[in-house]
Structure 1
Amino acid sequence: MAETAVSLVIENLIPLLVQEARLLKGVHRKVAGIKDELQIIQSFLKDADARVEQENMSNVEKTWVKQIREEAYHIEDTLDEYILHLAKGPLGPRQHFHFVQKFFQFTKKLRARHVIASKIQDININLQKKREMAVKYRFNTIEQGGLSNNARSVTWYDPRVTSLFIEEAEVVGIESHRDKLINWLVEEPSNCTMISVVGIGGVGKTTLVKKVYDDKKVVAHFNCHAWITVSQSYKKEDLFKDMIKQFYEERKELAPKEIDKMEEISLIKVLRQYLHEQRYLIVADDLWDVDFLECLKVALPNNDKGSGIVITTRNEDVAPSHNESSSCYVHMQLPLPSKKALELFYKKVFQHEENNCPHELVELSSKIVERCEGLPLAIVVIGGLLSSKDKVFSEWCKLHDGLSLELDTNSRLRSIPKILSLSYHDLPYYLKACFLYLGMFPEDYSINCARLVRLWIAEGFVREKKGITLEELAQGYLNQLIHRSLVQVVEFDEVGKNRFCRVHDMLREVILSRSEELNFCLVSIQNYSSFDKIARHLSFMNNVNTPLQSISNSQTRSILIFGLDEVPNSFFTTCFANFKLMRTMDFEGAPIDYIPKEVGNLLHLRYLSLRDTKVKMLPKSIGKLHYLETLDLKRSLVSELPTEISRLHKLRYLAAYIEDKDVEFSFDFPQAVKIPSGIGHLKSLQKLSKIEANNNALITELGSLGQLRKLEIAKLKRENGTAMCTVLQTMSHLQSLRIRATSEEEVLELQSMSSPPPLLQTLTLSGRLEKFPEWILKLNSIARISLNWSKLMEDPLKVLQALPNLMRLWLLDGYEGEQLHIEGGGFQKLKFLGLSDLGGLNRIVEASTKLIRGGPKCPHRFQKITGFKCQCFKDFQVLNQPEHQ
């Protein structure tokens, strides 16, 4: 993590300072010196970070790594202070100041710059001392050829070894998975079968595969077998030697002695020759990267004998998919369901007592198992500990209430976070900070993926890459964490994109433990009593007892609030007075009704969320936030944005609308916000919603927003339609478009567009359409279309069914005819069809054999039709079609 902190400083803040250093004589050289020192220190940290995480490091090295991390934070603070001082002073728009006042301000500013220059000099000296210390104690593996001489070797019992020898009677919930894998292995014809078992650490992958490997049918089907455990630090030569020796041992023969002296190429030749005529089964357990798998494929001949290769991995990206070959299968090993988890717990705890749980421990058993969230590793280890304790309520309650502490301190439980931490160790540095940031969210919290991505960007965790947006890069980071089984997707949108995600509770304990140790973030829950520790990121949740007004740490960069009943005004005063270097303020759902004008003091603020608050107005000082990237006002009470909003040239995300939860769905729901002229200056905007656009001047300004990916506008008048079409033709990056007229009867004049946005995936038109817009048929990438109150007279399905990628279609009062027609071969990818308030419709004609299903009040639950009649179309909602092969 120290290496992560240093990398962020080098890649983000140092270049900023170098760019501004021309304004302060003599600083440029000092900054260059800091950068050089940090880059040299990085070579020590890459190895030192790994050793401190694996507890294979001396106390001297641990202290050194901690000091480097704190120095990196100090550099970050100093540089941000420097930028803050540069932004102040007389140079700028305030030219009406008197000359004497200007001179006074300039002199004051110059003194501040020299103070910071002195700090930079001190940093340089400190870094030189740290580098000399690293050399003195030989921390770097390049110099010492291995681990530190002072490093202590920590041994610990890995309970995964037990899974290789677990008895059949002790296994729970894998029977159907075992049988599926066995069938894949023995029923596949001559091709070599590749099976990948993927899942979070401790979910039972090794146990499952071992039961398949030992199955009598599998043993009899293959001529030779070998099981190798790859792990994170493997040597290909050793694994190949192990395989060869297992083959000879299976035949009760001694392997040739020269095997031990062979190198990789020779070993591959031996393997290929030995297995040439064999039907073999190879298991590669605990695979972490694709490199060894590719090497293994070379070593194992595809001899058309029906051989099999099985791998277990935490990383879905390592697993070959069925799309690559029909002989490749992927099995996702999921946590145990509640009933099976409790069954496994009882087997482990009461193994010598015929699985009888005392009545007073039943409810507590369920609570303990719930904390494990179906993770067999945690269930077995915690159950094993409880099996050795007295079966009394007080003992069990003590373990349940203090489980977080027990995971860190109890030697019998430490294997759980140790195994789960292996996935964290394996992350590249740029993902470690992203992963630790997940600890900022409450337990069992469904995290909005788009929100998470924007937070990562604001924190500076996402590095720019040419040709791809920061949002796309951050989404790629999230996908990597998902594929590595570190993040779970809990909800997809209609076209299969990640919408909400969460972290397994046991992994969250690992995150919190690691974050506190690294001073990365501090999470305040109800039982927290003080905030005497330094942390870069603060999260408050569940009505904390800590007085918020007592928080005054100037190093804090982020504040997130969850589930508080009250936020004192004094805390606001502290936030905006003391946290001058703040980057992220996420007040979503917080009980606040105003934002003070002092928000303008937070020059470095990049993310401000007032979503689901009662804030009614933004202060004019919002225009001073020149680095602001995200302004989220969704479901707040802000109805109009101030003119100063046009100064926020770095703004990427601007979302605002008012939603009255007591009002049922209607045409003008939710309420869009008024936006001032000058919106065209925000050329970095990628999302803009929901705004009132009822005049041509404002619409014309939208044409300057060339980076827009999502646009939602309301109150569009008929006479503004042509101008809207002209602007849309310039938006080459637009992916989502929602347009709403001023009323149900207002016509959307959107015919005059010859070249619609080529990347458009989502389209919602709310308002009358006198004619179906022909340009919609050119949208080859479109996946979702909603036509609301369109009142079309011609059947829209006749033309819409030709769109090649349409997955979701909704018609709400969108058609006034009596008949809809679906032709054979139409709607190749459609998964959802919503029909609502089509009062005149009485007939659907369908030429194929797709399945039509009515709504909850429709008696015709399904029909295979060529002339289907139904009087329930106001309730008719969903058409489910089988996926086309």
Structure 2
Amino acid sequence: MAGILVSAATGALNSIVEKLGTLLVDQYKLHTGVRGEIKFLTGELTAMNDFLLKMSEEEDPDQQDKVWMSKVRELSYDIEDSIDDFMQDEDDKDAKPDGIIKKIKHILGKVGKRKAHHQVFQDLKKQVTEVAERNQRYQTRHALSKARNLTVDPRALAIFDLASTLVGIDEPKAELIKLLIDGVSINRQPKLVSIVGSAGIGKTTLANQVYQDLKRKFKYRAFLSVSRNPDMMNIMRIIHSQVSGLRFADTEAGSIQQVIINITTFLAEKRYFVVVDDIWNVAAWNVIKLAFPKTSSCSIIITTTRRNDVAESCSSYFSGNIYGVRPLTVVHSRQLFHRRLFDSQENCPPYLEEVCDQILKKCAGLPLAIIAVSGLLANIKNVLGYLCLLYVSMFSEDSFIEKYDLIRRWIGEGFIQKEDGYTTHEVGERCFNELVNRCLIQPVETNEYGKVKGCRVHDIILDFIISKSTEENFITFLSTPIPTTGIESKVIRRLFLQGVKEGNSTIPTTGLDLSHVRSVSGSFVEMPSLEKFRHLRVLNLHDYQRLGEQNLENIVRLFQLRYLSFRHIGIRKLPEQIGRLGCLEILDLRETDVMELPASIVNLRKLSHLLVDVGVKFPDGVANMQALETLKLVSVSRQSLDFLSSLGQLKNLRNLVLHIRFNVNSDTGHTNVIGEVISSLCKLGTQNLRSLTIMDLSGLLQEPLCLPTLEKLINCSLAIPQIPKWLSSLKNLQQLILQVDGVKQDDLCMLGALPTLLILHLTQRTESRNKLRISGEVGFRSLRIFIYDGNGVSPVALIFAAGSMPKLEKLKLVCHVNESDSPSFGIENLPCLRTVKCFVNGNDGIVEAVETAVETAASTHPNHPSLGFWKGNSIFFSRLPSFD
């Protein structure tokens, strides 16, 4: 995938070639000798880069090639460090000195530096030549093919988002539900079933499907993963948080015993449903089981494990059952493989049937193996995003990996390169989607708009990634106790600390050279001085509560830093000299106590993503930050008029979140503030603004705005009286989330005329008796998702006539009906419908009539859409749950 997915084999070669080109510009005043060395290095390293890309496509390069590739990769990192030091030295030159003596010393210093610079590049040339002479087989070749997939393949999402449509799932799901529900529990204890089977056979998928089908019958429920090396305190707090609805931060207790008491006290005499996934040993279960009271015969528990002794221990405690997951049959394996690879269950070309059967035989009926292999084959012409994939090994097993944070860290590492017409963030999202499409990462927490919020990595694939990361010295995994051999002799490029327990208060790095570390992450209690990380690019301090004042000040010395996260750290202020971090691209200050940014922050000319919380005050001079693409969020009432006016000068700003709330007792002047905001928004709207979220308590959207470039508009907090007429000018709008007092037929006609609208979410806040009819004449020719939320109080009859919303796939309705309303919404007239969710309130008779009509329409619809139907406090549910 040219320009998007970078092979780990190339190390830092791409970055080096770009920097060497920068060095050749006039600003560095290089003399002829140094220029010659740079040109030589550029040519040689470009050739090496192309050859390594070619070698990375080989299935099994021989040992000599592997050794040579490793040497080139390590050399590339060393060269980049040397070039970074050289460029920083040039940038740090003092201003011309005063006085004759100081001037003479300055001139002599420049002469000395020139000689030193020449020596630096001569040494680099010598190293490159020596490596090249060891292997004469490299040559310039075109290696990367053009990217095809720019979004998540719907076939890949179907594996996870619509898991109940997986082949072979219906029979085991029905068997498992029967074991859980049928009959009376022994001794009035909870019903338990322990699912056991080999890795990748689908235990978690099966448990999740049953959980999704049954969870809404239980008010108190939880689904959690344990994994190989569980933090039991963390596990128990997760259980407490999920079953009680408390925030995780509010579940803190002095000991595991106290957390268990809190859970059992809360669940006493309550019906609960808990899934404990991926238990690796009996010891972990012996702790977890104590949290579940034995006094409820109406509660159910599911555990999953790959070990028979664990399954037996689980089942014996509650006199439960063991369910062994079977591999897929040959027929089901073939259906799954063909669906993923050929976009069909049957459409396998005859000339491929024999090889496909051979592949399936190797997969032995394991769904994960079938999905992963078919995912790789589906895009075989594309180069794997190897660096991006290896970087995922820096996350703990079973951890939730936030999508956008992962992309930002890739950007900070330099793995993602900007392409014409696309920002680095957009290119990073394409890389993420590519890994999803290949089933190398599993998408989780898809929101109701179909957007993937994050991912996890199956432990089998994670083991593979970790082994490759270690083999290629991509990441150094440091655990406690520290290994006694091997670490000291390695050059550490990326450091991940794992396995730190309470009592080990320091990171075990004594004797290690940290000067070449580019990224540091992990669960450390205390880290060494940041002065040791002179070439650090990515610093993730998320949740590190012991950040000392000295380390905080030393951050400004990390001149190569690209990514910096203070998220969920109790710091109150940033270093005043934060503006010295000239390479910084991403700064995350969410969930901190920072309320004001230092003036020097406007000197961060490369900063593209700035993330802060409500109430943070920005300094004036934001117009200097022309690289900004994301600004979340701006508390308007805290800013000066100069800042609000300068906001409109950020020509590259694409994603903006505004919080608008004024103190009713404060001085007037709101009109001037809103005027500056409107002026800036209209300027941004004619440049690059793509996404605007307004947490609005002022009614800003009632004002006429000019935002022709906008693709996403979200209105939160306060409902506006009516849908603004100026929305009709948003010809590029793809997603609209709006809260209004009332929706009229004319409003639907106006929105239906928007040519590119894909997602529409309307929330009506006040009661209305308007009858809304959607037909082919209304429009909505491109709409895929429609959510209408009448808050259960508005007796609105919403009817879909023939020809309406021809591409709609997902429909969610929350409304009140009365006797005069039609019992049917007309969903049979939506030809592409796949998912329907209805929450209907009203008289029991009419609600039952609506339920019957919707059920009938769904069953007779050619697509047989999945249906979720709520009526008051009861639930009718069939097929797949919603797209939450």
Q: TM-score, normalized by length of structure 1?
A: 0.59
SS of match in other structure, 1:677 = coil
Moved more, 727-736 or 101-110: 101-110
Cα deviations by residue, 1:222-256 (Å, 9 ceiling, x for unpaired): xxxxxxxxxxxxxxxxxxxxxxxxxxxxxxxxxxx
Q: 2:459 aligns with which of 502, 505, 524?
A: 505
Other-structure match for 1:462: 416
Q: Is the 1:338–1:374 contact (alpha carbons within 8 Å) kept by the matching residues of 2?
A: no
Other-structure match for 2:700: 748
Other-structure match for 2:514: 553
Measured in 1, the distance between the counterparts of 2:738 and 2:71 equals: 60
Q: 1:782 aligns with which of 733, 744, 750?
A: 733
Cα deviations by residue, 1:518-558 (Å, 9 ceiling, x for unpaired): 21112334565465332211123442657256354111111
Cα deviations by residue, 1:190-238 (Å, 9 ceiling, x for unpaired): xxxxxxxxxxxx9799xxxxxxxxxxxxxxxxxxxxxxxxxxxxxxxxx
Measured in 1, the distance between the counterparts of 2:114 and 2:876 equals: 65
Q: 1:473 aligns with which of 410, 427, 433?
A: 427
Distance change (3 Å), C-alpha of 1:592 and 1:433: same
Q: Is the 2:10–2:53 contact (alpha carbons within 8 Å) kept by the matching residues of 1?
A: no
Q: Is the 2:539–2:565 contact (alpha carbons within 8 Å) kept by the matching residues of 1?
A: yes
Other-structure match for 1:585: 539
Q: 2:85 aligns with which of 81, 86, 94?
A: 81
Measured in 2, the distance between the counterparts of 1:865 and 1:362 equals: 41
Distance change (3 Å), C-alpha of 1:338 and 1:816: closer
User: How far off is 1:41 after superposition?
Assistant: 3.6
Unpaired runs of 5+ residues, structure 2, are 1-6, 142-165, 172-198, 203-275, 281-305, 316-321, 334-368, 662-669, 802-825, 828-835, 855-869
User: How far off is 1:42 after superposition?
Assistant: 4.2
Q: 2:23 aligns with which of 9, 14, 17?
A: 17
The residue identity in structure 2 corresponding to 1:30 is E
User: How far off is 1:79 after superposition?
Assistant: 0.5
1:133 maps to 2:134: yes
Distance change (3 Å), C-alpha of 1:806 and 1:12: same
Other-structure match for 1:724: 677
1:650 maps to 2:606: yes
The residue identity in structure 1 corresponding to 2:658 is I
Query: Which fold has the larger relative contact order, with Cα–Cα distance below 8 Å and residues 6 or more apart in sequence?
Result: 2
The residue identity in structure 2 corresponding to 1:122 is D
User: How far off is 1:498 after superposition?
Assistant: 3.1
User: How far off is 1:497 after superposition?
Assistant: 3.3
Moved more, 100-109 or 118-127: 100-109
Measured in 1, the distance between the counterparts of 2:876 and 2:576 equals: 47
User: How far off is 1:121 after superposition?
Assistant: 0.6
Distance change (3 Å), C-alpha of 1:363 and 1:457: farther
User: How far off is 1:76 after superposition?
Assistant: 1.0
RMSD: 5.0
Q: Is the 2:12–2:80 contact (alpha carbons within 8 Å) kept by the matching residues of 1?
A: no
1:29 maps to 2:52: no
After superposition, where does 1:214-253 map in structure 2 within 5 Å?
A: none
After superposition, where does 1:190-589 map in structure 2 within 5 Å?
A: 360=309, 362=311, 431-525=385-479, 528-529=482-483, 531-532=487-488, 533-543=490-500, 547-548=507-508, 550=510, 552-561=513-522, 563-564=523-524, 566-568=525-527, 571=528, 573=529, 575=530, 577-589=531-543
Measured in 1, the distance between the counterparts of 2:313 and 2:784 equals: 47
1:120 maps to 2:126: no
Cα deviations by residue, 1:603-658 (Å, 9 ceiling, x for unpaired): 1111111112212211111100111110111122211111111111111101100x
Distance change (3 Å), C-alpha of 1:43 and 1:737: closer
The residue identity in structure 1 corresponding to 2:400 is S
User: How far off is 1:792 after superposition?
Assistant: 5.9
Distance change (3 Å), C-alpha of 1:720 and 1:818: farther
1:684 maps to 2:627: yes
Measured in 2, the distance between the counterparts of 1:360 and 1:831 equals: 46
Distance change (3 Å), C-alpha of 1:24 and 1:784: same
Measured in 2, the distance between the counterparts of 1:812 and 1:875 equals: 21
Measured in 2, the distance between the counterparts of 1:515 and 1:427 equals: 23
Q: Is the 1:21–1:28 contact (alpha carbons within 8 Å) kept by the matching residues of 2?
A: no
Cα deviations by residue, 1:142-162 (Å, 9 ceiling, x for unpaired): 99xxxxxxxxxxxxxxxxxxx
Q: 1:710 aligns with which of 651, 655, 670?
A: 655
Other-structure match for 1:54: 60
SS of match in other structure, 1:714 = strand
Other-structure match for 1:618: 574
Measured in 2, the distance between the counterparts of 1:819 and 1:140 equals: 73
Q: Is the 1:748–1:767 contact (alpha carbons within 8 Å) kept by the matching residues of 2?
A: no
SS of match in other structure, 2:631 = strand
The residue identity in structure 2 corresponding to 1:36 is G
Distance change (3 Å), C-alpha of 1:89 and 1:510: same
Larger radius of gyration: 1
Q: 2:590 aligns with which of 627, 631, 634?
A: 634
The residue identity in structure 2 corresponding to 1:555 is H
Q: TM-score, normalized by length of structure 2?
A: 0.59
Cα deviations by residue, 1:247-295 (Å, 9 ceiling, x for unpaired): xxxxxxxxxxxxxxxxxxxxxxxxxxxxxxxxxxxxxxxxxxxxxxxxx
Measured in 2, the distance between the counterparts of 1:711 and 1:614 equals: 25
Distance change (3 Å), C-alpha of 1:689 and 1:106: farther
1:854 maps to 2:839: yes
Q: Is the 1:846–1:866 contact (alpha carbons within 8 Å) kept by the matching residues of 2?
A: no
User: How far off is 1:776 after superposition?
Assistant: 1.7
SS of match in other structure, 1:713 = strand
Distance change (3 Å), C-alpha of 1:513 and 1:39: same
Cα deviations by residue, 1:464-483 (Å, 9 ceiling, x for unpaired): 32222222222222222222
Q: Is the 2:533–2:558 contact (alpha carbons within 8 Å) kept by the matching residues of 1?
A: yes
Sequence identity percentage = 24
Other-structure match for 2:694: 739
SS of match in other structure, 2:129 = helix
Q: 2:643 aligns with which of 681, 692, 698?
A: 698
Q: Is the 1:855–1:875 contact (alpha carbons within 8 Å) kept by the matching residues of 2?
A: no
User: How far off is 1:677 after superposition?
Assistant: 0.9
SS of match in other structure, 1:490 = strand
The residue identity in structure 2 corresponding to 1:690 is L
Cα deviations by residue, 1:406-446 (Å, 9 ceiling, x for unpaired): xxxxxxxxxx99x9899699786782222211111111222
Q: Is the 2:597–2:619 contact (alpha carbons within 8 Å) kept by the matching residues of 1?
A: yes
Moved more, 451-460 or 532-541: 532-541
After superposition, where does 1:83-162 map in structure 2 within 5 Å?
A: 83-91=87-95, 111=112, 114-135=115-136, 139=137
Cα deviations by residue, 1:702-737 (Å, 9 ceiling, x for unpaired): 111111111111236444334333322332322221
SS of match in other structure, 1:725 = helix
1:71 maps to 2:75: yes
Q: Is the 1:492–1:499 contact (alpha carbons within 8 Å) kept by the matching residues of 2?
A: yes
SS of match in other structure, 1:129 = helix
The residue identity in structure 2 corresponding to 1:34 is L
1:674 maps to 2:674: no
Measured in 2, the distance between the counterparts of 1:358 and 1:442 equals: 21
Measured in 2, the distance between the counterparts of 1:879 and 1:204 equals: 27
Q: Is the 2:792–2:840 contact (alpha carbons within 8 Å) kept by the matching residues of 1?
A: no
User: How far off is 1:484 after superposition?
Assistant: 2.6
User: How far off is 1:54 after superposition?
Assistant: 1.4
Q: Is the 2:792–2:841 contact (alpha carbons within 8 Å) kept by the matching residues of 1?
A: no
User: How far off is 1:64 after superposition?
Assistant: 3.1
Measured in 2, the distance between the counterparts of 1:878 and 1:97 equals: 84
